[in-house]
Amino acid sequence: ADPPSRGEGHNPTKQAIMEAVRAGRVEAGARRAITGCPPHGRRTERRRSSVPWPRGVGRGRAASEPPSTAPRASLDKTERTEASRTASGSSGLDYSRLLECCEPDSAPLNVAVLVSGGVDSSVALQLLKRAGHKLRAFYLQIWFEEAFDNYWGECPWEDDLRYVQQVCEQAGVELEVVPLTKEYWDRVVSYSIDEIKAGCTPNPDMMCNSKIKFGAFVDHLEASYPAGEWDRIASGHYARVDRESRPGEATLCMSQDSKKDQTYFLASLRPGQVARCMFPIGCFPKDEVRALANAFALPNRDRKDSQGICFLGKVNFDEFIEKHLGTMEGPLVEDETGEVLGTHRGYWFHTIGQRKGIGLSHGPWYVSSKDIEQNVVYISRNYDSESRERSSFLCHGFNWIAGRTAAEVAEGGLRCKVRHGPGIYDCVFCWVDGEGGTARVDIRGKDHGFAPGQYAVFYDGCTCIGSAVIRSMPEPLTS
């Protein structure tokens, strides 16, 4: 699929936004993202944070100041303790591990911080500041025209960017907007459309991390800054990087919050990408991150977490799919009886386990399987029954990131996830047709949710060792 046209003469939405810019209705930072030009006009005076800054950590520079070249000593143990106590403020928090995931002993590192306007990346920015690193914040502009089409010309990233500006202003950290819309379309959106058309379940969030946040963005840094300028790329992901267990190596580890842990979405990174990562909030559960946001008096501290598929944002999923894949009517067949109960608009609108959007009464109905060649969608009211539970799957497309494969993990130590969340299974892994080809995974337990294209992520204890793509699909009971 090709990205939508951006011709000036055929883009009334963009023209409307530009008119809003000229009328002063869009903030200067958003103007830069739209036009690619730096903002003009009088600078706004930077507000100071109401949270005291720890001794030994600079407040940073205003957006107009050049990066400081003066050497800065890293925090000693006493100063880190004071930083922890200071940051807790009036909230009553007392974290001995406040900077544990920020590498304070290595400060000052040059850190490129990915900020989104959400609470997690904003807290990460503040923690890195207190750890003594030299920072620059980067906001990745990856929205595309469908977002405007569905929201009547409203700028879908305007709120995000406004919060990013406020957070960076408070911290005294320079902000740069990086337009990566084309790269995002080519590497994430097109992949997702192709996977959906093939009847698979794509994971755009995984592709966004490996191909954009720690891929195309790194390409931008290398093209725009001197070689070796950046020591780390930091983000607000719930994960940790262990640099001590295996000297000279960096391994991806689960965060302290099993529910929010995002190593599942990071398992498609390459080892070299993991080595450059830093995840400052990986040492905290979500409720403590929220408490830190209040202690830091962040402008966005009450903002809700983002939801939904990463590239769609506020775009309606069915409308997006219909625009790019069209419709193709086919039968809805009851799995147990083979009876045709209705029709669907195309198998690509449905995923295994889906409940909403089937449009039949006397439910609830679930999508139990699909026949892609015949365009048949099988449904059932007994999706949760034992007859549908699976304990094994085939997988391929392996990406190992910790110096060992799943087959090399000591007996009894291997675990896997088949989706984001706290659920994790003990499992057994064996090659089917030679190392690196196809493997069979048997989990200790039962699961309904194995679908082609879905990722399986493997762990040795709490260390994420890599990922694979699931090949198997549940067969209809009537076959």
The mean pLDDT of the chain is 78
Q: How far apart are the first and last CA of the chain?
A: 34
CA dist., res. 255 & res. 263, Å (int): 8
Share of the chain above pLDDT 70, in %: 72
Cβ(283)–Cβ(97) below 8 Å: yes
Tokens (6 digits) for 220: 């931008």
Cα→Cα distances 93→68, 77, 83, Å? 32, 19, 12
Window from 145-149, 261-265, 382-386, 390-394 with minimum mean pLDDT: 145-149
CA dist., res. 372 & res. 197, Å (int): 9
Residue 387 clears pLDDT 70, i.e. is over it: no
CA dist., res. 178 & res. 115, Å (int): 11
Give the pLDDT band (50/70/90) at residue 16. Answer: very low
Cβ atoms within 10 Å of 451's Cβ, excluding its own:
22
What are the pLDDT digits (tens) for 169-185?
999 999 999 999 899 98
What are the pLDDT digits (tens) for 110-132?
999 999 999 999 999 999 999 99
What are the pLDDT digits (tens) for 426-446?
999 999 987 878 999 999 988
Residue 141 clears pLDDT 60, i.e. is over it: yes
Tokens (6 digits) for 59: 């407040």
Q: What is the mean pLDDT of residues 258-271?
A: 96
Cβ atoms within 10 Å of 415's Cβ, excluding its own:
21
Cβ(447)–Cβ(325) below 8 Å: no
Backbone phi, psi, residue 86, to 5°: -65, -45
What's the pLDDT score for residue 59? 30
Residue 252 clears pLDDT 90, i.e. is over it: yes
Q: What is the mean pLDDT of residues 134-156?
A: 67
19-23: Cβ within 8 A, 24+ apart: 20/155
Q: From 324, 362, 364, select the one nearest 346 (Cα to Cα).
A: 324
* SS3 track for 358-404: CCCCCCCCEEEEEECCCCEEEEECCCCCHHHCEEEEEEEEEEECCCC
122 by DSSP, 3-state: which?
A: helix
Residue 53 clears pLDDT 50, i.e. is over it: no
Window from 18-32, 293-307, 427-441 with minimum mean pLDDT: 18-32
Share of the chain above pLDDT 90, in %: 55
User: Which residue is listed with tokens 């262990």?
Assistant: 242
What are the pLDDT digits (tens) for 327-384?
999 999 999 999 999 999 999 999 888 888 898 998 899 998 899 999 999 999 987 6
Q: Are strands 175-179 and 134-141 parallel, antiparallel or unpaired?
A: parallel
Q: From 87, 148, 88, 138, select the one nearest 111 (Cα to Cα).
A: 138
Burial of 297 (0-12, 13-18, 19+ CB in 10 A): middle
What's the pLDDT score for residue 27? 35
What's the pLDDT score for residue 144? 56
Q: What is the mean pLDDT of residues 40-44?
A: 28
pTM for the model stands at: 0.76
Q: From 106, 58, 60, select the one nearest 83 (Cα to Cα).
A: 58
Tokens (6 digits) for 408: 């090399």
Residue 54 clears pLDDT 60, i.e. is over it: no
CA dist., res. 327 & res. 133, Å (int): 52
What's the pLDDT score for residue 30? 35
What's the pLDDT score for residue 45? 32
Cα→Cα distances 19→28, 38, 359, Å? 13, 17, 42
Q: Which residue numbers are catalytic?
A: 208, 310
CA dist., res. 232 & res. 109, Å (int): 7
What's the pLDDT score for residue 75? 41
What's the pLDDT score for residue 149? 52
CA dist., res. 257 & res. 283, Å (int): 8
Residue 391 clears pLDDT 90, i.e. is over it: no
What's the pLDDT score for residue 319? 84
Give the pLDDT band (50/70/90) at residue 310. Answer: low
Residue 416 clears pLDDT 90, i.e. is over it: yes
Check residues 475 and 410 and name the one with the higher pLDDT: 410
Q: What is the mean pLDDT of residues 76-101?
A: 55
